[in-house]
Structure 1
């Protein structure tokens, strides 16, 4: 294979004196065409800054390459040093030669323009397509990353899609130019395992067809095992270990590599589930959800008449007991986050009943149920100090900020392992894991009985993720909290949930005891989810693209789904009968 890129002694600094503020120090690696290099490390390790140097996007973020070379072989066979190339030359290389998939799609997509316009722009700039041709190419790009109803979603704006769907849009945009080098910065973090497997299949397919080089930045060691030829581990801006994938994973020499391998939650097919809760028949549910249905109208035609509806959630039922965790798992767009938002009253349900343990509705008794959102960066007001952030739920529910409230703040900060002086600090002064702890503390200010956690650990590094999960378990045990835990990560749900509800196309298809569902899945969709979970034991997987159609959630006006038939597989294990 021919050499595609060679990085030698790369150094990057920030600020007015970048040489004195280096965050990347002496990074070197080689990548051949058709080869995959995985760069692994926690937040702040320098892995993303290193990748941004390859297309010199680091220049736009206040960074500067202070030393080293980045030799890149162009499609015409010429080799250039990207570290010293003028900006005018770089504009012809970005996108066409070097593509990039960013981690956070909400900040990478323009909220003003439709999805179709933004993908079509790539085809216009790099392929010379115009008008309808560019839009048809954009539709095919969305279908390639398995987005259902692609033609309709071209007209959507970013805020109308889930985080997982947005990440697929970003991947479709990056792949549209068929780049020779693709840099993927945590591209599957927000995706469920089945879509993640499909994205890896897409990347593998491109590699086979065009000998594309791939730099894959991730904290998921399971993914590294499945896709990477070589692994480079970074810590505090330096490379601490690199080599062939098998050698690094089987015989890690550096203590930090060993720490990362231990921190990653490995899926154990139900053997690692919690054993600290038993359902009692005489206990009353702390939360009951009955026939929850959420539909969004679809209008078309000159008069914008309603022609159907998106059946985002279709007849979901479950009970949550005191001290219990219900894990809700499923693909992005399956309706699991919509379910969580409907329970909180953030999305208006079309129909359905919610009741708390004391018999009141959730709307009537808003205090006992609180929520922790996926992104701690977006859910904390950057202009408020921590004391004001923790005071928000008290004030919003008509309470007063008194000595008791301040004592509660101090107590919760101690419980989530943050110093008391954190009250006078601002969110930007905390790490991602600390910010999520602040979000948990804020949710507990009103002493709720139920906490809804929507992908609450998916944006965190693996070691931080493990600490937050341990914290949630301790808080639940000490305060008798009940959790509705929404996630796409099967290894995470195995360690936090007592019961699991599997959601597919807006409906629960399997529900029951966590150990039973994970060890003995009965519905075909649950089996597919579990079979797609990455594992450190699955080396160099030959990912193949699944061409089966993704079901559309758009139904004609007046459509009602048929009554579900359930099959029992034990005391607490039900699966929907399949046709």
Structure 2
């Protein structure tokens, strides 16, 4: 029996009768309990196809121009009324969107938004709604679930927000679930847990799953069938094993070749020898946030986001910072930049303009009303300097270094692709001639082929300008490719640090081994994901509490791991 059958689907955007067709004759089937992966880069039409299934494309200026979308072989969703679709969305067809900040109401508490589902879908009320919401957050491994219910979306990390979106989608128990890049912003362990949750749901309820992604490593582990899309067309379709092992279309072969293959340290650059004066030195850094209290009332406790972190970063070196969402890696990076006020500790970076940052999302980093010339001039003006001929020359030089034409100066962000926008962000960060770049998930939002080019660019720039990189990422394959050393952060503390070749090939701390074991790979097929019951420890502590100093095991030059406390 077929749960969903899509036949010759065509979708266009524009005025009625003048639509530009962007999806051309797409067809596929999904059976109950089956996972279909739709793979392709940005602009391939995979998300538009998914949005068409539940007719959300109607709200984005698009319309279905032809074809059928049959649910249970009888109901054609193309001809369904809006009232009928409202009865199907959520209950029959659930959806997990890629960007949680655009899906959650920023002014409502998380508990209110989750509770609404249990109240309307399951008829719960009062305390039962809150209890159900707590169980939903526990299921996706969000620590301090009861406290998180009373927070607004802006108070949480991107990974936590995505888990909340997944919890909300699972709460309705749909028969068909569409997951549009649901794990792109998540670290490998949480990604494995999300895949486990989806697998558990399928086993229990025979839910059909459409999994949209650019990560073929993830596809290898979960998908029964795979559809590859390019320019709005299906260029290859078949079983996942056939697609990965015997790709026939050049585009499929291109996607597979661009995947960063994790090789347990074999692909990592060698650690730099003979360290000298560090470009960055961090000593006993701690960052804490008060919890509770209010006007004229003291705080009830503190979140120990970063505790007793110390490390050095050499010129021309890349230190990869890895850890789960909420581990404190981004908080630490922001403290180094002065965006978060340290509770204590010392940060020595050679001056206020020595450190610049490249953020995860280039769309949010660039002001769409400014052309590239103005964007590149911003850091010069912020440094109290004039935008003179020397600054103009540096703009052109940097655009050349990041492989963008000089006429880009007069163009605006919307005129560039995602990869080109991130190159503009890199050029802007280099305008004040920094010694250190903090790259916070700087390539995670990019397609795999674009990601590979940006990583190559970063390596070339590092060699030419002797830059030091603090590379924050959840993608172990990407970290392996660029990092000389790796620091693993768990619950706000570094638990292992050392050369990438050693940390990835012979991890010593149990948490590091857990991270590495969760890395998806093309050779991990039909993975039997199982939901773990252990929880991420809370970093909420009483006022005045101080962590005990960590003891360390030494495993070789520069490689050490924290000694686990005895139970």
Task: Give yes or no for the alignment of 1:296 onto 2:296.
Answer: no
| CA apart distance, 1:337 | 0.4
Structure 1 spans left out of the alignment, 5+ residues: none
Q: Is the 8 A contact 2:98 2:180 kept in 1?
A: yes
Which is further off, 9-18 or 489-498?
Answer: 9-18
How is 1:403-482 mapped onto 2 (pairs within 5 angstroms)?
Answer: 403-482=389-468
**So what's the TM-score if we normalise by structure 1?**
0.96
SS, match of residue 92 in structure 1: helix
| CA apart distance, 1:557 | 1.1
SS, match of residue 215 in structure 1: strand
CA distance in 1, matches of 2:356, 2:119: 46
CA distance in 1, matches of 2:99, 2:463: 33
Task: Give yes or no for the alignment of 1:254 onto 2:253.
Answer: no
CA distance in 1, matches of 2:388, 2:535: 57
Aligned length: 565
Structure 2 spans left out of the alignment, 5+ residues: none
Q: Is the 8 A contact 1:18 1:66 kept in 2?
A: no
Q: Which residue of 1 aligns with 2:128?
A: 133
CA distance in 2, matches of 1:287, 1:327: 14
What CA deviation, in whole Å up to 9, does each residue of 1:325-351 have, x standing for no partner?
A: 000000000000001000000111111
Q: Which residue of 1 aligns with 2:304?
A: 311
Q: Which residue of 2 aligns with 1:219?
A: 214
How is 1:324-335 mapped onto 2 (pairs within 5 angstroms)?
Answer: 324-335=317-328
User: For residues 179 and 214 of structure 1, do their structure 2 counterparts lie closer, same or farther at Cα, with a shift above 3 Å needed?
Assistant: same
Q: Which residue of 1 aligns with 2:141?
A: 146
Q: Which residue of 2 aligns with 1:349?
A: 342
Task: Give yes or no for the alignment of 1:398 onto 2:398.
Answer: no
SS, match of residue 306 in structure 1: coil
Task: Give yes or no for the alignment of 1:235 onto 2:221.
Answer: no
User: Deviating runs (4+, > 6 A) in structure 1?
Assistant: none
Task: Give yes or no for the alignment of 1:23 onto 2:22.
Answer: yes
CA distance in 1, matches of 2:164, 2:337: 28
CA distance in 1, matches of 2:549, 2:383: 40
| CA apart distance, 1:549 | 2.0
Q: Which residue of 1 aligns with 2:85?
A: 90
Q: 1:556 aligns with which of 510, 533, 542?
A: 542
CA distance in 2, matches of 1:18, 1:304: 63
| CA apart distance, 1:136 | 1.8
**So what's the TM-score if we normalise by structure 2?**
0.98
CA distance in 2, matches of 1:425, 1:124: 49
| CA apart distance, 1:20 | 4.5
CA distance in 2, matches of 1:265, 1:437: 20
Q: Which residue of 2 aligns with 1:196?
A: 191
| CA apart distance, 1:167 | 0.5
How is 1:174-185 mapped onto 2 (pairs within 5 angstroms)?
Answer: 174-185=169-180
Q: Is the 8 A contact 1:124 1:134 kept in 2?
A: yes
CA distance in 1, matches of 2:247, 2:137: 39
Q: Is the 8 A contact 1:568 1:574 kept in 2?
A: yes
Q: Which residue of 2 aligns with 1:43?
A: 42
CA distance in 1, matches of 2:102, 2:294: 32
| CA apart distance, 1:279 | 2.5
Q: Is the 8 A contact 1:369 1:452 kept in 2?
A: yes
Task: Give yes or no for the alignment of 1:113 onto 2:108.
Answer: yes
What CA deviation, in whole Å up to 9, does each residue of 1:484-534 have, x standing for no partner?
A: 000000000000100000000000000011101000000000000000001
Q: Is the 8 A contact 1:294 1:349 kept in 2?
A: yes
| CA apart distance, 1:79 | 2.4
SS, match of residue 414 in structure 1: helix
Q: Is the 8 A contact 1:279 1:321 kept in 2?
A: no
Q: Is the 8 A contact 2:93 2:174 kept in 1?
A: yes
| CA apart distance, 1:412 | 0.7
- The alignment's C-alpha RMSD in Å is 1.2
What CA deviation, in whole Å up to 9, does each residue of 1:330-382 have, x standing for no partner?
A: 000000000100000011111110113xxx5xxxx211110000110101111
CA distance in 1, matches of 2:168, 2:345: 38
How is 1:379-394 mapped onto 2 (pairs within 5 angstroms)?
Answer: 379-394=365-380
Task: Give yes or no for the alignment of 1:336 onto 2:335.
Answer: no
Task: Give yes or no for the alignment of 1:377 onto 2:376.
Answer: no
Task: Give yes or no for the alignment of 1:155 onto 2:141.
Answer: no
Q: Is the 8 A contact 2:183 2:191 kept in 1?
A: yes
CA distance in 1, matches of 2:427, 2:294: 48
| CA apart distance, 1:301 | 9.3
Q: Is the 8 A contact 2:383 2:432 kept in 1?
A: no
Q: Which residue of 2 aligns with 1:53?
A: 52
User: For residues 31 and 481 of structure 1, do their structure 2 counterparts lie closer, same or farther at Cα, with a shift above 3 Å needed?
Assistant: same
| CA apart distance, 1:80 | 0.7
| CA apart distance, 1:303 | 7.4
Q: Which residue of 2 aligns with 1:122?
A: 117
Q: Which residue of 2 aligns with 1:278?
A: 272
Q: Which residue of 2 aligns with 1:544?
A: 530
CA distance in 2, matches of 1:550, 1:339: 19
Task: Give yes or no for the alignment of 1:494 onto 2:493.
Answer: no
CA distance in 2, matches of 1:421, 1:571: 48
User: For residues 194 and 181 of structure 1, do their structure 2 counterparts lie closer, same or farther at Cα, with a shift above 3 Å needed?
Assistant: same
Q: Is the 8 A contact 1:19 1:66 kept in 2?
A: no
CA distance in 2, matches of 1:439, 1:549: 37
Q: Is the 8 A contact 2:358 2:440 kept in 1?
A: yes
SS, match of residue 441 in structure 1: helix
